[in-house]
Structure 1
């Protein structure tokens, strides 16, 4: 994919426009530095010609001090330009980084299932960091370098038209050559950034599963994969750097040509008595000075090649769209919600295939395996559904559909009288609460972990909820109560305590539909008894779906739904199924739920 100048320009405008003041100061400092660079050779010429002509010492001292003063002023302007440039770069890249993170958070789970966290980190941080020079220096430095080149040409024409023509010819050759070689390294840098992302994705995957790797003796295999990636990574980097070296070699050759032209012309004009020795020195000095902006352009083009590869990858990620639409404008009613599924079918292969197409990842055409097939049931408001089935039967998938983490390929889901895809996702998350067996706690305060940063939930309500769940003692043992920071180790929470905190979240959220996905499976019998009473209170006035791990958990259910290989194996009122000796549920009550799970 070729990145056009329009796309570069749009990116610069979008993220530099809010910083107009800083960009202006940056430009002023840089342009002032350029002006001072053009001035100093004139002072040097005056000094040389005065010395050759036997001028006064006072004139020489004045010229020398003036030269030093201009040089110092030039350095101060360069420092100011660097300062403002770095500020502009960090602000712009942080804004782009924030936009990219927000975009990724809006993407559905099908995207995150095929994209490793390490790869996302590399795209959000590595690729964007690669643009810092592009944002801070590219446009102004390129413009500044071109202005310096133009200034040198104008000054040389003023000195002598032949010198102006010669320096113009040299600048034209230099710039046209560099521009023609601009994109030579882009493909290699793009491939390098991709391998970079794969490496960090691999590293993140291994670090999160370090216990399993060590416990099962998989270290050798991990190191094998590690070296395989490195074997691809280093040669790609060498190719990219070699392509950059072509630019460097070409530039040095051009500089040599420029010096030859300047010296030959100065010698010719001096022999013709057309210029003084000071002017001859100025010719050479300006030619040498001209090498600086050309070198700057070369550096910027070299950075641009890496930036172009990163921009391509960033734009590619921005173009990925969630498979879920944003929903309509219908708001879910408050209070308990009815749940109605009509002929719902779903396949992970289908949605992940769509996501991989968006990412331009080629996947073989495989007929999607349906995880759920023609699921239909109606759960009245305030009732509880006990959802049973073997591992892999589709229980958790059903919960994900009710949260719209995915959309079903066929059929309809309604909460209350509202189709689930017609309510905004933000509204849906307020009315559906989920507790799973895997609890994610964040590195922030206990209060924020419980309320998910909802400031409308009072501390009194939090204390009441934790007291009901038997966590008051644990809370008061913390050094700063609700303001205690939970660290990477969750501040010593046991698995059961962490899950109780997850229950507390749902209590505080007060949703119309509560889904418990084997939420008590990690609790010891004592803690489970503690929470049974809390669950009863939680389900009062709410609709509930309990994905059962133990039969005791579904004793409070009004309805029972048993899934088998993604299909409804049995569905009905719990009391009726209990009384039917031929029902599968009645047999489970006799033999135990274990028979269902194997």
Structure 2
């Protein structure tokens, strides 16, 4: 079914301009003055040329001619300087405005819940945040002022032409009306294709980003052929859309050329007739021709503005849709979590990633302050989902989750995530310094605190070995770091935040025994004075747990004190200890 880009109300354009250009009113005023000055000079120059031609025919002295020539050159040079100034100010206004909009869209994306991010590829989101907003640069910097200034320029030329005679003025007026009507008529056929082009571009770069990130898995799985096949299919789908979009642009360009040719013919025909009648001089004929040629520039710019507007139409619709997307996770009223270790309570919690499948069903348990819970279960039993619910990446469909006795829906999201720390087996290392990777650019964390935490985690010698200490640059993805060092850095991140609840999601499952021993020592330090949930991969990991919770197909299969369950020969946990967890969970 053909997707039609909805017509955007003028008030929405006005709202965008008001919101992002109001802080730059001084720059906009300077831009307006420069453009209006340029208009005046463009209207004056043909008058100087007419004077020069007519004077040259009858005036024997060269002084008036020299004066006219110097004046013409001077006005032209000033006009060029004004044009350069207007271009600079306009580009600066557009850059600042689009960056403000880009910041707003990026911040909005970061606030959206995980269901949105799971449904969108990173490339598609980047295309919206960057590509669509780039299309609005000219809209912000030049659209209104350039459109108004070009209309004023055309109006000024028509007034001057009417002064020369009603016939030439009327002819040029009809030419302008016909030109704008023709351009607008052609424009409506091109608009839908630009929207499809933006959507296709987002899909393509989303696909490309996803598979470039997973290059290792793609090669290891022998899926390179499939990826390239899909790559070529997308290019094949993209090409006709791109052709139709640029055919729309070309049709506008060709229409403009035809209109200008007709305008020149009309101007020359009327000028010739008036000259033969003796109504105008040869200088006036040239002036009329000059104005007609000059009129092509503002009409061409109006066409360009309309072209940019058609691109902006599609981009504004897509940005508006994104900004109107509301997160399913809404901030709480601000109930404060208590200091120190935090208790955890699940009361008949149910959750599913989609309406058909339940990932967790009727899960209830309580973990007291300072206790450690060992969370066991098969892959897909809901262990990681339970951790995501605690951080409010998702909200449960049924039931209630409380931390520190406070319903987590009542707390502010930033406070909840400050007080709940999570360490996973997949560690994200960003391109930046060691300091930045540990503090996430929080300048309030001083170096002394960072070094103390690294010493406590056994990373003091590693820090000393770095060529620039905390200022040493790390590669994106953790290149240059061992798995153990990356894992210990993730522990340090949590340490620096000093949370009351720590979740360890199979944090040592991929490590060798020697490295795991270092992690175990760091874990002992991390858990001191905190409540902890350990999502376990190995039974040795939960030997420090006070309580055990076993999930099976999203339901609580067993829970209780670890010592009691271990001593009960009929408990699942006891059979795990006897047979081995891997066999029990197979």
TM-score, reference length from structure 1? 0.95
CA apart distance, 1:42: 0.4
Aligned equivalent of 1:94 = 99
Select 1:591's aligned residue among 579, 582, 586: 579
Q: 1:400 to 1:513 in 2, by over 3 A?
A: same
CA contact (8 A) 1:496 1:522 kept: no
Matched-pair contact (CA < 8 Å) for 1:581–1:587: yes
Q: Which residue number in structure 2 is paired with residue 144 of structure 1?
A: 149
8 Å CA contact 2:375, 2:536 repeated in 1: yes
In the alignment, which residue of structure 1 is the partner of 2:393? 405
Of residues 421, 425, 449, the one that matches 1:461 is 449
Question: For the residues of structure 2 that align with 1:517 and 1:157, how far apart are their CA atoms?
Answer: 80
What are the residue-to-residue correspondences of 1:331-346 with 2, within 5 Å? 331-346=336-351
- More divergent stretch after superposition (84-93 vs 34-43): 84-93
C-alpha contact 2:488 2:522 (8 A) present in aligned 1: no
Matching of residue 558 in structure 1 with residue 546 in structure 2 = yes
CA–CA separation in structure 2 for the residues paired with 1:110 and 1:555 = 35
Which residue of 258, 265, 271 corresponds with 2:270? 265
Structure-2 separation of matches of 1:185 and 1:374? 55
Spell out, residue by residue over 1:474-508, the C-alpha distance to the aligned partner (whole angstroms, 9 max, x if none): 11111111122212363511011100111111122
Q: 2:186 aligns with which of 181, 187, 191?
A: 181
Are residues 55 and 326 of structure 1, via their aligned partners in 2, closer, same or farther at CA, if it must alter by over 3 Å?
A: farther
**Residue of structure 2 in register with 1:538 after alignment:** 526
Matched with 2:435 is: 447
Task: Determine which of 401, 412, 416 is the counterpart of 2:404.
Answer: 416
Match of 1:15 in 2: 20
SS at match of 1:490: coil
Counting only pairs closer than 5 Å after superposition, residues 486-497 of structure 1 correspond to structure 2 as 486-488=474-476, 490=478, 492-497=480-485
Question: In the alignment, what sits opposite 1:359?
Answer: none
Alpha-carbon distance, 1:54 to partner: 4.0
C-alpha separation between the residues in 2 aligned to 1:489 and 1:564?
A: 34
What's the counterpart of residue 392 of structure 1?
380
Equivalent pair of 2:337/2:406 in contact (CA under 8 Å): yes
- Tell me the equivalent position of 2:3: none
Residue 533 of structure 1: how far off its partner (Å):
3.0
Following superposition, the deviation at residue 11 of structure 1 comes to 1.2
Q: Does 1:205 align with 2:210?
A: yes
* Ranges of 4+ aligned residues in structure 1 off by more than 6 Å: none
Conservation of the 8 A alpha-carbon contact between 2:139 and 2:308: yes
CA contact (8 A) 2:20 2:101 kept: yes
Structure 1 gap ranges (5+): 351-367
1:44 to 40, 49, 52: 49
Matches within 5 A, 1:166-565: 166-350=171-355, 368-488=356-476, 490=478, 492-565=480-553
2:570 is matched with 582
The answer as to 2:168 corresponding to 1:163 is: yes
Structural RMSD (CA): 1.4
**Local SS of the residue matching 1:182:** helix
Does the 8 Å contact 2:566/2:574 carry over to 1? yes
| Pair 132,591 (structure 1): closer, same or farther in 2 beyond 3 Å | same
Distance in 1 (CA, whole Å) between partners of 2:523 and 2:222 is 41
Do the aligned partners of 1:389 and 1:596 also contact (CA within 8 Å) in 2? no
**Are the structure 2 counterparts of residues 55 and 156 from structure 1 closer, same or farther at C-alpha, using a change threshold of 3 Å?**
farther
Does structure 1 retain, via aligned residues, the 8 Å contact 2:500–2:531?
Answer: yes
Q: Which residue of 1 aligns with 2:159?
A: 154
Q: Is the 8 A contact 1:101 1:124 kept in 2?
A: yes
Q: Is the 8 A contact 1:32 1:77 kept in 2?
A: yes
Structure 2 equivalent of residue 571 of structure 1: 559
How far off is 1:217 after superposition? 2.0
Q: 1:135-191: per-residue Cα shift (whole Å, max 9, x none)?
A: 222111111110100100111122222222222222122223323333321210111
Distance 1:383-1:489 versus aligned 2 partners, 3 A rule? closer
How big is each residue's C-alpha offset from its partner over 1:430-478, in whole Å with a ceiling of 9 and x where there is no partner?
1101011011112222122222333343333322221222111111111
1:60-119: CA deviation from partner (whole Å, max 9, x where unpaired): 121112111111111111111111111111111111111111111101111110100111
* 1:51-70 → structure 2 map (5 Å cutoff): 51-70=56-75
In structure 2, how many angstroms separate the alpha carbons of the residues matched to 1:503 and 1:596?
Answer: 30
Please, which of 94, 105, 111 is the counterpart of residue 116 of structure 2? 111
Aligned pair count reads: 581
Q: Write out per-residue CA displacement over residues 309-359 of structure 1, whole angstroms, 9 at most, x where no aligned residue.
A: 111111111111111011121011111111110111111124xxxxxxxxx
Superposed CA deviations along residues 398-436 of structure 1, whole A, max 9, x for unmatched, are 000000011011111001221010000011011101011
Distance 2:147 2:312 in 1: 15
Q: Secondary structure at the match of 2:187?
A: coil
Question: What is the aligned partner in structure 2 of residue 362 from structure 1?
Answer: none
How far apart, CA to CA, are the structure 2 residues paired with 1:290 and 1:480? Answer: 63
Stretch moving more, 439-448 or 554-563: 439-448
* Distance in 2, Cα, partners of 1:581 & 1:443: 51
Report the alpha carbon displacement of residue 374 of structure 1 after superposing the two structures with TM: 0.7
Structure 1 residues 137, 85: CA separation in 2 closer, same or farther (over 3 Å shift)? same
With over 3 angstroms needed to count, the CA separation of the structure-2 counterparts of 1:222 and 1:539, relative to structure 1, is same
Moved more, 170-179 or 568-577: 170-179
Deviation (angstroms), 1:248: 1.8
* Distance (Å, rounded) in 2 between the aligned partners of 1:169 and 1:541: 84
449-458 vs 512-521, which moves further: 449-458
